[in-house]
Amino acid sequence: MSRRKTDKEYEHTLAFRFFRWLNGEKDPYLNEVEMKPQHYEEPSEETKAQWEREHNEMLERVYDTEHNALLKYSQTAYRVAAVLFCIMLVAVLLITVSYLPPVGNPNNPADNVVAERYIEKGLEETGAVNIVSGMILTYRAFDTFGETNVLFIATTCVMVLLMLDDAILKRQEEKNDRRYEPKNDAILQVIAMVLCPIIFIFGIYVILNGHLGPGGGFSGGAIMGAGLILYVSAFGFKSTQRFFNEEVYKVAKITALCMYGLIGSYFYFTGGNGIENHIPLGIPGHILSSGIILPINICVGLEVACTMYAFYALFRRGGL
């Protein structure tokens, strides 16, 4: 039988240190990393003069292009490599084109089966009047889901790089928000008051009408994102945060991506295993039709709109 360790022996085990760190009771780096204060010594005048001479010599060597043999060699090698690369690329393209079958030859292989399926069976199998939406959100819904994930990951990376701490954002005054733009521009605000509702309504229409006509989640989301950017440019971030702040952004973006994933997973699973899909297609031409296309268009539209606004806000202000 194993012997029960005493409390003193247990304190020297790895499990004890791990659970202390896990519970937040002990920081493994606190008081464990040796740090010494740095002491700056003022250099002498002779040392400063030597540094200045070395700096000037370095600049002369770096920018002396006339007598720099290595620079001339690298420039020549770069030009030769560029010409050779262009020649090789043109040769590969010409050789590839030479193997293509002649246009109009009746013996050419029939490689348009997929396009024929989209055109002839698209309305019946997807319920979407817009063939493009039916193609990208049903037949190629997995590819579109990957593109939506790219938007999510890109926004996350920008937030990691540019997001400022909440305390810093709170210390910023409204005048800092308008540092490079006119504050309370009457013309811009009047135009925004007229155009923003129209832009938002039109963006919603494009998203909801994507399976019936030109439009969809990507184009409608871009329109709504442009409306948000116009509004924040006219009225500032304080006014925008009354209805679209960081919490709303996170809920909308994550919910849209998860809903797309859940809807798409059901569609992929049933289609890939030959199981009947119970999502009704509805009557083609009606607003509530086309199966999964309408909810996916809404998810994609929210994702695109949030991405556009987040990029603008993060690059300009460092926060949402």
Of the segments 29-38, 120-129, 194-203, which one has the largest average pLDDT value?
A: 194-203
- pLDDT score of 67: 75
- pLDDT score of 118: 84
For 37, other C-beta atoms within 10 Å of its C-beta total 4
Average pLDDT (221-231) is 94
Length, in residues, of the chain: 320
Average pLDDT, the chain: 84
From the CA atom positions of the chain, what is the Rg in Å? 31
- pLDDT score of 182: 62
- pLDDT score of 262: 92
Which residue type, as a one-letter code, is found at position 182? P
Helix residue ranges, H only, the chain:
7-10, 14-22, 45-63, 69-98, 113-126, 131-134, 141-162, 166-171, 174-177, 186-208, 217-240, 246-272, 293-316
Q: How many CA atoms lie within 13 A of 269 on its CB side?
A: 8
Element (DSSP H or E) covering residue 158: helix 141-162
Query: Per residue in 96-124, pLDDT tens?
Result: 998 887 877 777 766 677 778 888 888 88
To the nearest 5 percent, what fractions of the chain are helix, strand and coil? 65, 0, 35
Query: Per residue in 115-174, pLDDT tens?
Result: 788 888 888 888 888 888 888 888 888 889 999 999 999 998 998 888 877 777 766 655
Read off the pLDDT band of 31 (50, 70, 90). Answer: low
Read off the pLDDT band of 175 (50, 70, 90). Answer: low
Give just the sign of the alpha carbon dihedral 249, 254, 255, 256: positive
- pLDDT score of 5: 72
Closest CA to 301 of 206, 209, 217, 200: 217
Average pLDDT (74-93) is 94
Read off the pLDDT band of 84 (50, 70, 90). Answer: very high
Which CA distances in Å does 102 have to 81, 91, 95, 110? Answer: 34, 19, 14, 13
Query: In the chain, pLDDT over 90 holds for what percent of residues?
Result: 30
Please determine, for residue 247, whether its predicted confidence score (pLDDT) is greater than 70.
yes
Of the segments 61-70, 167-176, 304-313, which one has the largest average pLDDT value?
A: 304-313
- pLDDT score of 32: 64
Q: Provide the 3-class DSSP secondary structure of residue 274.
A: coil
